[in-house]
Amino acid sequence: MTPAETARILLVDDEPGLRRMLSDRLKAEGYAIETAADGRAGGSMARTGAYDLIILDLNLPLKDGLEVCRELRKEGVETAVLMLTARDATSDKVVGLKSGADDYMTKPFESAELLARIEALLRRGRAGRGEPAEYAFGDVVVRPVSGLVLKDGRPVRLSAQELKLLTYLVRHPGVLFSRDQLLDAVWGYQSTPETRTVDVHISWLRQKLEPEPHNPRYIVTVFGVGYRFQGDEGR
């Protein structure tokens, strides 16, 4: 996975300065970032399955990173976890990896190394999940690699942003996204210039893909919150 594919990263750390610095840097690299300041909130967010990677501090208030990681793995959450800690003892690293973390970095660290570790974990995660070559719902087929979208066997012309939005939604079936989250993930910014941008593109996708655009079956609105893609199995 590359940043251009807008991987979603959950950063769980109780240091406000580090959260802000890492969030800014990762957003600049093209990732969509959400944050939590304690283990309880981070674990709850991680359980949604809406993330491609979790950056998890070991020492957290309310619930430490080791406990969060163990619980996630026990519950079947397979999202890649990169654990951060101020401890540098080998025994701490072993404990972190045994808890289910995929990688481990000691603070302080160079941002270039962190980015390299993130890219490696995301590539490994995508390969391990074996992303399908195509996604199908109703009479629509989406092929992300080639950028081809078919409806009833015929190619559908989508703009670059329509394709990015559609691909992002079908890759996260059943996940409810706010307009700001979609702006950040697909357009690369938060809440500006206008949240109406998402509404307009959703409307265009419905016109081109839904059997009944005014009564959408697949790209549904959750009023007051945002949008969710539900495939045939979600009906």
CATH number, residue 119: 3.40.50.2300
- Let me know if residue 52 belongs to a domain: yes
Say if residue 115 is exposed, middle or buried (CB neighbours under 10 Å; 0-12, 13-18, 19+): middle
Given 107, 129, 151, which residue is the final one in a domain?
A: 129
CATH of the domain at 189: 1.10.10.10
Domain boundaries, position 212: 159-234
Verify that 91 and 23 share a domain, yes or no: yes
Token pair, residue 182, equals: 């979609």
Counts of helices then strands in the chain (DSSP H, E) = 8, 12
pLDDT at residue 190, rounded to an integer: 44
- Let me know if residue 28 belongs to a domain: yes
φ/ψ (deg, to 5) at 62: 70, -45
- Let me know if residue 140 belongs to a domain: no
Per-residue pLDDT of the chain (235 residues; tens, 9 = 90+): 444 357 899 999 999 999 999 999 999 888 989 999 999 999 999 988 788 899 999 889 999 999 999 999 888 788 889 988 876 655 566 666 778 888 888 888 888 888 888 988 887 766 555 567 788 999 999 987 667 899 988 899 998 889 989 998 998 888 898 888 888 778 765 445 566 889 999 999 999 999 999 999 999 999 989 999 998 765 5
pLDDT at residue 87, rounded to an integer: 66
- Do the beta carbons of residue 79 and residue 47 sit within 8 Å? no
Verify that 125 and 163 share a domain, yes or no: no
- Let me know if residue 136 belongs to a domain: no
What residue has token string 């793995």? 73
User: Can you name the residues that pair with 137 across neighbouring β-strands?
Assistant: 140
Verify that 182 and 122 share a domain, yes or no: no
How, if at all, do strands 148-151 and 140-143 pair? antiparallel
